Each structure stands twice: as structure tokens, then as C-alpha cells.
Amino acid sequence: MKAARWLADLPIGSKLTLLAGAASAIALLVSSAAFIAYDRATFDDSTVRRLSGEAAIVAANSATAIVFRDPEAAQVTLAALAAERDVTSAVLYTMDGAIFATYASDVGTRDPPRAPSDAFAGHAFEKGQLIVHRRVMFEGAPVGTLVMRDDLTARWERLRRYLATVAEVSLAALLVALLAGRLAGRAISAPILTLAGTARAVSERNDFSVRAVPRGRDEVGVLVATFNEMLDGLQRRDAELRRIQAELEHRVEERTGLLREAEDANRLKDQFLATLSHELRTPLNAIVGWTTLLMQGHLAPEAATRAVTVIDRNARAQTKLIEDVLDVSRIVSGKLRLNARALDLATVVKAAADSVAHAAGAKRIRLKLLLEAGTALVSGDPDRLQQVVWNLLSNAIKFTPAGGTVTVQVEQGRAA
């Protein structure tokens, strides 16, 4: 479990390196083991054959020495085995089992090879040694037995050399495999790392405009291409979202403006209504007051006349006010109709001035008209225009201190 986890956490490069190394190591081990086993079998075979041949020659050359009972001669024949490094000892036995002659390069270190049992002939591997037996024949009859012992030094030497070579080659192959694995790993993991870096950039900075650079058309290349396509989609959607968001904000702003406007309008309307009520009540106060006095019948005739005049003026003023309110209502509902015709502005201003002359006189305000008859001929609705001018003059008189002057001047301006 731990190993699996460790393997899972290992970078791809290291995984590939490990894989390459393990694969080559296993291949080398298996093939080396097979080769060594095969070679050993072959080598043993050839050793047996060589030694058997050797034994045959020595036995043939020893036959007469045995029959003529000349151990010294046999000794000389056996001594030739010194050329065989691995033959450590050889013994010639006579048929009655007595040692006839011996040769030993391992004198004193080991007992001579045992006398053969009759049943045994040929060779045997025992205790890391090869024992070869050979009957010594003279004229078709056995006269003795040659026993040779080979301590297989060459075999162990060869095995050691093989193992050393295998170790060297394995080490070299392993290094090459590791290098190849590292290179392959880099080739594979580098694009993935680049891709991961791009993905991180995207997730950290929400920047959908970056793109991973494709390096090839392998699996990783496909992944990179797909990733980029995904980014395309994300970028499009992001842009769309931003656009919609901006639009919504704009709309909200718009709505907020409208709302404020509506609120303003409402407030103005309230203000207007308050003002209107006040304006409508002012003349009514006078009318109601004087009417009450009249009805009590205690007024002198001059006072009654004055009362009726005040009532009349205030009733007219209120009528005018109501007409104005109706006009405003008409303007709002678009029902106001202007009767446009050619008119002289001076006439209109003079008419308006006449209608406020009384009010001006009451405050000792001097109305100064600077008019040139016939100079201001325009097209318009004379009643409305007169109304506008009257409004202006009324306000002017209202807010001018007593004894002041209100000047009305009509002059021809430059046509726009």
C-alpha cells in the first residue's frame, strides 16, 4: 500500500527511469542467469570430455608400466598431467586395489582420490570436484584403474569472470537505461509540467487568454490541444459573462436613474400641490372674510363696495389660477392647443402690463415699457404669450421692493 502510494507520488520521469532500470535489470538478470547456466552445462560437458580424453591417453600410456610393474615409469606418465592445471591429483590403482602410482599437485592438502568400486566407471561431480575413472587395459584385459581428480578451478574462475562481466555490463546497461529513462521522462513530463503551469496560471489569475504550447501530436499533445480548446470555451464564456454583467449594471443604473427621476417628479408634484393649495386658499380667505362681513350687514356703503371689489378681484384671481392649473394639466396630458398666428409682441406685452398696472400702483412700482410698435412681429398664440408675460410681470412686481422699477424691453434679437 505504502509502496503503491510512493509510486503514485513519484514524478513521471522517475517512474519511467525506474521502469527502464527495472526492465533492463530483470532482462539482464534473466538472460545472464540463463546464459551462465547454459555455459556452465556446456563447460562441464567439455571439461568431462577433455578430462576423459586425458584419462584415456594416460591410461593407455600407463598400461605397460603396470604390467611390467614399473611405478617409476607410471609416475613419469602421470607427471605429464602437470600441464593440466585443474587436475589436482591422479592415482593409478592395480586390479587388486593397491596404489601403483600417484600424481598430486595438491600434495598433503587432500587425500588421494578413493579406489574405485567395480561398479563405477566414467565420471562424477562430487563436492565441487570432478572425478574421472578409467580402466587401464592391456591386450584386451583390465590391468588397473586410473582415477583423476579435477577441482574445477577453471569452472569457478570462469563463473567468477562471468559474474564480474555480467555485473559490469549490467551496471553499464543500467546506467544507459536510467539515462534513457530520464531523457524519456523529461520528454514526457516537460510538456505536462508546462501544461500544469498554464493551468495554474489560469486558476490563479483567472486569465483565460494564456495557452499551453503544444509540442507534438502524442497523447500529451492531444491533452494540450483539448486543454486549449477548453480554454477557448472558457474565454468565450468569460467574455460573454462580462458583457452580460456590464449590460446588467448599465440597466440597473438606468433603472436607478429613472427611479430617482420618478421620485423627483413625485416630490415636485407634492411641492406643486402644496403650493397650489396655498395659492388657491389665499384668494379664498379674502373672499370668505369679506363675504362674512357683508352678510352681517354692518358695513358702510363705501366699505361694502370695496368688499365686493376685493371679492371680485380675488374670485377672478382664483379663476385665473384654476385656468392655469388646467393649462398645466393640458400641457402634461398633451391636450394644450396653441392658436398660432401673426401677432405684434408689443401689443401682447402692453396688454399684460395693463393687467398688472393696478398691482404695481399699489406698491408704487414704476412700470417702464421700452417697446417699439411693429418691430416684434412674430408667430404665436397671443393669449398664451400674454399669460407668460403676465406671469413674469406678476412675479417681478411681487419680488420688487415698494417704490422700485420694473422694466420690460422688447427688442429684436439676432435670429438663431
Partner 1 sequence: MVTRAVMAAVLLSAAPARPASAPVPREEYEVKAAFLYHFAHLVEWPAPTLPGEPFVIAVVGHDPFAATLEQVLAGKSVRGQPVHVEPFDGAADQGDARIHVLFVGHGVGDHVRQALAAVAGQPILTVGDDAKFTDRGGMIAFRITSAGRVAFDISLQRAEQTGLRMSSQLLKLARIVGPAR
* Footprint on this chain of partner 1 (rule: CB under 8 A): 61, 63-65, 67-70, 72-73, 138-139
72 vs 204, beta carbon nearer partner 1: 72
Among 88, 79, 36, 49, smallest CA distance to 61 is for 79
Q: Cα–Cα distance between 356 and 397 in angstroms, integer?
A: 8
Q: Which is nearer to partner 1, 9 or 139 (CB)?
A: 139
Residue whose C-alpha cell is 420694473: 406
DSSP 56-73: HHHHHHHHHHHHTT-HHH
**Closest approach of partner 1 to the CB of residue 73, in Å:** 5
Distance in Å, CB of 33 to partner 1, minimum: 48
Q: Given the complex with partner 1, which of 103 and 290 has the nearer CB atom?
A: 103
Contacts of 342 (CB under 8 A, 6+ apart): 377, 378, 379
Q: How many CA atoms lie within 13 A of 61 on its CB side?
A: 17
Q: Which is nearer to partner 1, 73 or 343 (CB)?
A: 73
Q: Contact 113/131 with Cβ under 8 angstroms?
A: yes
DSSP string, 141-201: EEEEEEEEEE--HHHHHHHHHHHHHHHHHHHHHHHHHHHHHHHHHHHHHHHHHHHHHHHHH
Question: Shortest gap between Cβ of 91 and partner 1 (angstroms)?
Answer: 20
Rounded to a whole number of angstroms, the minimum distance from the CB of residue 75 to partner 1 is 10
Q: Quickly count: other Cβ atoms within 10 Å of residue 192's Cβ.
A: 17
Closest to partner 1 by CB, 74 vs 311, is: 74
Q: Which contacts of 316-319 are long-range, i.e. CB under 8 A and separated by 24 or more positions?
A: 317/283, 318/280, 318/283, 318/284, 318/287
CB of 125 to partner 1, least distance (A): 32
14 or 75: CB nearest partner 1: 75
What cell does 195 get? 501544461
Q: How far is the CB of 68 from partner 1 (least distance, A)?
A: 5
- Cβ nearer to partner 1, comparing 64 with 194: 64
User: Residue 70 CB, nearest distance to partner 1 (Å)?
Assistant: 5
Distance CA 50, CA 34 (A): 24
Between 67 and 192, whose beta carbon lies closer to partner 1?
67
Q: Exposed, middle or buried: residue 181 (CB in 10 Å: 0-12, 13-18, 19+)?
A: buried
- CB 171 to partner 1: min, Å: 55
Taking the complex as a whole, how short is the minimal distance between the CB of residue 65 and partner 1, in angstroms?
6
Nearest approach in angstroms of CB 90 to partner 1 is 18
What is the distance between the alpha carbons of residues 208 and 265, in angstroms, rounded to a whole number? 47
What is the three-class DSSP state of 373?
A: coil
Spatial CB neighbours of 66, under 8 Å, sequence gap ≥ 6: 74, 92, 94, 100, 136, 138, 143, 144
Smaller CB distance to partner 1: residue 65 or 406? 65
* Residue of 306, 330, 304, 320 whose CA lies nearest to 356: 320
Rounded to a whole number of angstroms, the minimum distance from the CB of residue 66 to partner 1 is 10
Nearer to partner 1, 146 or 367 (CB): 146
Whichever of 79 and 268 has its CB closer to partner 1, that residue is 79
